[in-house]
Every structure is written in structure tokens, then in C-alpha cells.
Structure 1
Amino acid sequence: MPLTLTLTEDVLPEGAEKLAIAKITEAMLKWHNLAGNEIMKSNITAMVQVLPKNATYAGGEEFSGVWVEWKVPSFAFTDRDVQIGFGQDVTDIIYELSGRTQPRENIYINVVHAVDGSWNFNGVAMTNEQITQAISTNGVSQ
């Protein structure tokens, strides 16, 4: 499940991106009751994009922002409590890692759902049901 963390340079101290990815991954697992599920964790990948200050905008003006985007199967992030809790956790993670300087209102989170059956999980295209079965073999059910 690809996680993309995009941020304006200098929002986080250099090197803190790795810790941000680890913490955001753990938050996703926690909110989906999958903490400790190595099968799920091993299928979470991440990409970090740090953009120059003159490449991030809001309202047509340069600004410093953070964008967290997940691409996930359609069963993920569907519960409203998960959406709210995960959003709060990630906002807190970025805010704290920025040294409490990144405005919370400039931390954006979104989720893109994949078509059922098109998700490549453990190297095989799987349906939501197959993914749920694979996850549950780790002793943690969805």
C-alpha cells in the first residue's frame, strides 16, 4: 500500500522523513487494528518527495505544506473513527517532527482507493477478500 509523503523543504529537519514514514505507517496499522501484523506491514511501501519552497502553493501563493497520501484497497479508511483518529495522529506526528513549527492547517491527508481485484499484494493481484485472508494468517483479523 503505497504511502506518499510530499513536503516543502525545511518543514522537517533533514533526515526526519524516515522517522515520519515509520510513525505514519504505525499509525495506519494501529487505526486498522493491524499493529504487529508483519504481512500487512511488509506490503506498506513509501515514497518521500521534498520539494523546493518555490514549488509548493496554496491559493496561488508559495507556502510550506505537507501532503500525506495513501493508495489502498477499498476496505481501508472507510470507518469515520479511523479517518478522524488517523488524521489527528498524522497531524500530530508531522507537527511534532517539525519542531512544532509547521502549521497544522497546512498538513493535508487524503486516501485513494483501488478497484477491488487490482491490488498487487505480496506480488499477486488480489481481491479485498484475498487480502483480508492473507492479513488474518498473521493472527490479526481485519
Structure 2
Amino acid sequence: MPITLTIPDGLLSPTAQAEAFAALTEAVLEVSGLNGNAFMTSNVVGSINVLPREHVLVAGKPAQAAFVELKLPEIALATPEAKRTFIEKATDVVERAAGGRLQRDHIWSNIVYAPDGAWGIAGRSYDNGDLISAITGSAA
């Protein structure tokens, strides 16, 4: 379940980047109720995109800003409450990591869903039923 954190160069130290990504991972697992689930834990992956400062824009101008994108199968975080909770937690994580160098209103998050059957892990296509089976199988 890829997470992409995009930030301008210099906003977060390498240590703060790693801590923020770990906390975003924890937020996904917590909100989905899957803390400790081996299948889900090993499949929360992602990247941190550190861009030149002039390539991170707000209103068309360079700005201190951060963007969090979470990609999920359509069965995950499907309720409005789960979406709200993840977005609140993601914003809190990035704001804390920035240590006062980033305004809260310059943190954007979004959740993108893959259609049923369009989720791939290790070259295998998973539909919603396959994912549920993999998740519940690793919980057993």
C-alpha cells in the first residue's frame, strides 16, 4: 500500500524523513485495524520524494509544503471516518516532523484507490477477495 511523501529539499532532515515515513506507515496500519498483520505490514511501502525547493509549489509559486499520497485497494479505508482519521494523522505526522518549519495549511493529503483486481504484489494481481484472504490468512 504505497505511501508517497513529497517535500522540498531542506524541510526534513534524513532522520526526520525516516521517522515521518515510519509514523505514516503506523497510521495506515492503525486506521485500518491491521497493526501486527504480517501481510499488510510487509506491503506498506513507498517513497520519499525530496524535490528542489523551486519544484514544490503552492498557488504556482515555490513554497514550504508537503504532500502525502496513499494508494490503496478500494476495500481499504473505505469509510469516511477512516479517511478523515488517516488524513488527520498524516497531517500531524508531517507537521511534527517539520518542527515548526511548515504551516499546517501547507500539508495536503489524498487517498487514491485501485479498482478491484488492479492491485499487484510480486507480479500477482489481487482482487478484493484475494486481498482479504491474504490479510486474514496472515492474522491466523
TM-score by length of 1: 0.92
CA contact (8 A) 1:121 1:131 kept: no
Note the C-alpha offset of 1:78.
1.6
Give the helix-richer structure, 1 or 2.
Answer: 2
Question: Which residue matches 2:33?
Answer: 33
Length, aligned pairs only: 140
Q: Which runs of 5+ in 2 are unaligned?
A: none
Give the SS at the match of 2:99.
coil
Matched residues in 2 for 1:128 and 1:21: separation?
26
Residues 34-53 of structure 1: per-residue CA shift (max 9 Å, x gap): 01111101111111110111
State the percentage of identical aligned residues. 31
1:126 equivalenced with 2:126 (yes/no): yes
Cα distance in 2 for partners of 1:75, 1:87 equals 17
Q: Distance in 1 between matches of 2:131 and 2:11?
A: 35
Equivalent position of 1:48 in the other structure: 48
- Compute the RMSD of aligned alpha carbons: 1.4
In structure 2, C-alpha distance between the alignment counterparts of 1:70 and 1:85, rounded to whole Å: 13
After TM superposition, the score normalised by the length of structure 2 is 0.93
Q: Which runs of 4+ in 1 moved over 4 A?
A: none
Check whether the contact 1:2–1:72 (CA below 8 A) recurs between aligned residues: yes
Distance in 2 (CA, whole Å) between partners of 1:53 and 1:78 is: 34
Shift of 1:121: 3.0
Cα shift at 1:66: 0.6
How far apart in 1 are the matches of 2:119 and 2:103?
Answer: 34
After superposition, the C-alpha distances for 1:27-86 in whole angstroms (9 at most, x for unaligned) are 000000001111101111111110111111111111111111112101122211111111
Q: What is the CA distance between 1:20 and its match in structure 2? A: 1.1
CA separation in 2, counterparts of 1:97 and 1:115?
Answer: 32
Deviates more, 1:119-128 or 1:22-31: 119-128
Matches within 5 A, 1:82-93: 82-93=82-93
Q: Gapped runs of 5+ residues in structure 1?
A: none
User: Which residue of 2 is the match for residue 77 of structure 1?
Assistant: 77
